[in-house]
Amino acid sequence: MNRLIPQADVMLHKRHAQIGPTKSVFDELIDRHAEAYKEAFPEVKEFNGFERSGTGNYYIGMVWTNDNEKPDTNMLRIRGSYNLTENRIVELDTGAIDCQQSFFPGQIIAFLGDPFTKRYLTIRKILDPMRIAPPMKTINTDNEIRLIVASGPYMKPEQEDWSLYEKIIESVKEHNATHLVLMGPFVDVDNKIVRGRYDINWRACFDRLVEGLFNHPCCIYLVPSSRDVLPNYLSATYFYPSPPLDIDIRVKEGIAPKCRIIPVSDPAQIDLGGVYLDTTSAEVLFHLNRCSSFINKGGNTFNCMYRHLLSQGIYPIFPAPNEMAVDYPKLAKHIQLDRLGPHIVALSSRFNTSVNNVENRLIITAQKCSTKKQVVLVSIPKIESTPEAPINSVVITDFTHKIIDLLPSSDDSSQMSVDTAPKLESQQTSQPISVGSDS
């Protein structure tokens, strides 16, 4: 029997159900970060256990807040692991930091600090987390990759309009895309018309994709969302991470389609044929901006957030905002250091960003189709590494990208565009890479 689960009840339960397992996850994560920092920084021999005397030492811990709120940089608190500090919490003096730095709940920081003055531990230097970010694999691809990335919802609230799906299918064919990443929601809980017949509309969504691309060889990756209204038979939940959708593909008269629909989890790492892409349909940029505090704000605040995701995982926030029911023990594999680093990160975003080069990783942000009616196309040439000349980044290739307008006006076409969108609190936006440029 299919049943619509009250989403609020699920989230309330999840936020109070995993105190013990979640504590263990973050204790192990802090300890693993400590090991990685000692390997990456020869000067770091050990991490101090928050002692209140002695000369300057290195310390490590997790930024600690009572809820999903901005840390107070005038009284920044961190919590250590059980092994290193017996889970003690200390307050930090950030006044000596002379460069831009941001802090968010759940962030693991390692730093050189001075002994306690009064009740504060003074930060002198924060160790660069990108030095311990998961490494990227050497790239070898058989062919050019033509990737289209889109983010749901794909209909406006109170409408049942499948035209954007049809336009995406047309774009895949027109640009001969080899890979299509569709981030949910597909059947949006905020759309009362669609959610009222969610079972039928899920089937209609899959059928449209298969029928529209039946004779077009490509891989279609479906990333579910916590905002999707889900029938039980799809084997998905409102928890984050979400497992892949359990779908069956109908065939025409026994003939299999040339396109491949591949359900993935949320978040997920996708192998595009030698190029690895991390993606999530969660609004991690919006959540991260909402709960981040900055010191010496200036420069590119987007890049600060991107670096956090690259070094600390695709959804590193703890505790999560009220609208997210996060299963942290299951999320652990997506935020641990011993994972494969992505060449590309694809995100759903409310902000006016597009494609960016951050630390030799390609960051693709797609705005909601129901609002912007756009998708992002990235073309990556065939990459051949050799032992003498290994290549582990797509940004050093002659890749190109552009924004495709699904419903262009009479005087507009598929060109790079910069439109009005919600801004960061700093009111700063990142600069997209120019189309066709070498990076």
Positions of E strands within 268-360: 268-271, 276-280, 293-295, 344-349, 355-358
The whole-number pLDDT of residue 161 equals 84
Least confident among 19-23, 70-74, 138-142, 360-364: 19-23
Establish whether domains 19-132 and 145-282+324-405 are of one fold: no
The whole-number pLDDT of residue 118 equals 65
* Residue 23 to residue 27: CA distance in whole angstroms: 6
**Residues of the chain above pLDDT 70, percent:** 81
145-282+324-405 to CATH, choices 3.60.21.60, 3.40.50.1000, 3.40.50.2300, 3.40.50.1360: 3.60.21.60
**Does residue 154 surpass a pLDDT of 60?**
yes
> 10 Å Cβ neighbour count for 276?
19
Helices 163-174 & 198-212 angle (0-180, nearest 10): 20
> 10 Å Cβ neighbour count for 39?
11
Helices 19-40 & 328-335 angle (0-180, nearest 10): 10
Least confident among 54-58, 248-252, 380-384, 429-433: 429-433
Provide mean pLDDT across the span 188-216. Answer: 79
**Residues of the chain above pLDDT 90, percent:** 62
The whole-number pLDDT of residue 52 equals 59
**Does residue 54 surpass a pLDDT of 60?**
no
The whole-number pLDDT of residue 6 equals 47
Residue 336 main-chain phi, psi, to 5 deg: -75, 155
pLDDT band with cut points at 50, 70 and 90 for residue 255: confident
Least Cα distance to 417 among 368, 347, 363, 354 occurs for 354
The whole-number pLDDT of residue 63 equals 97
* Residue 426 to residue 423: CA distance in whole angstroms: 8
How far is the first Cα of the chain from the last one, in angstroms, to the nearest whole number? 53
**Does residue 107 surpass a pLDDT of 90?**
yes
More confident call, 21 vs 47? 47
Q: Of 21-30, 42-51, 165-174, 192-201, where does the model show the most confidence?
A: 165-174
**Does residue 144 surpass a pLDDT of 90?**
yes
Residue 421 exposed, middle or buried by CB count within 10 Å (0-12, 13-18, 19+): middle
Q: Of 202-206, 227-231, 414-418, where does the model show the most confidence?
A: 202-206
The whole-number pLDDT of residue 18 equals 52
**Does residue 437 surpass a pLDDT of 80?**
no
Q: What does the pLDDT look like over 394-408, one tens digit per residue?
A: 999 999 999 999 988
Provide mean pLDDT across the span 316-323. Answer: 92
CATH number of 19-132: 2.40.50
Q: Of 40-54, 192-206, 246-260, where does the model show the most confidence?
A: 40-54
Least Cα distance to 209 among 254, 162, 243 occurs for 162
More confident call, 66 vs 2? 66
The whole-number pLDDT of residue 117 equals 65
More confident call, 204 vs 423? 204
**Does residue 232 surpass a pLDDT of 60?**
no
Provide mean pLDDT across the span 165-169. Answer: 96
Provide mean pLDDT across the span 342-359. Answer: 93
Provide mean pLDDT across the span 128-156. Answer: 96
Provide mean pLDDT across the span 51-60. Answer: 75
Domain boundaries, the chain: 19-132, 145-282+324-405
CB 77 within 8 A of CB 92: yes
Predicted structure pTM score: 0.87
H helices of 153-240, in order, are: 163-174, 192-195, 198-212
The whole-number pLDDT of residue 206 equals 84
Least Cα distance to 240 among 185, 188, 285, 281 occurs for 281
The whole-number pLDDT of residue 7 equals 47
Q: Output the average pLDDT for the chain.
A: 84
The whole-number pLDDT of residue 139 equals 98
**Does residue 414 surpass a pLDDT of 50?**
no
* Residue 240 to residue 316: CA distance in whole angstroms: 12
The whole-number pLDDT of residue 419 equals 34
Positions of E strands within 155-292: 179-183, 219-223, 260-263, 268-271, 276-280
* Residue 92 to residue 122: CA distance in whole angstroms: 6
The whole-number pLDDT of residue 29 equals 96
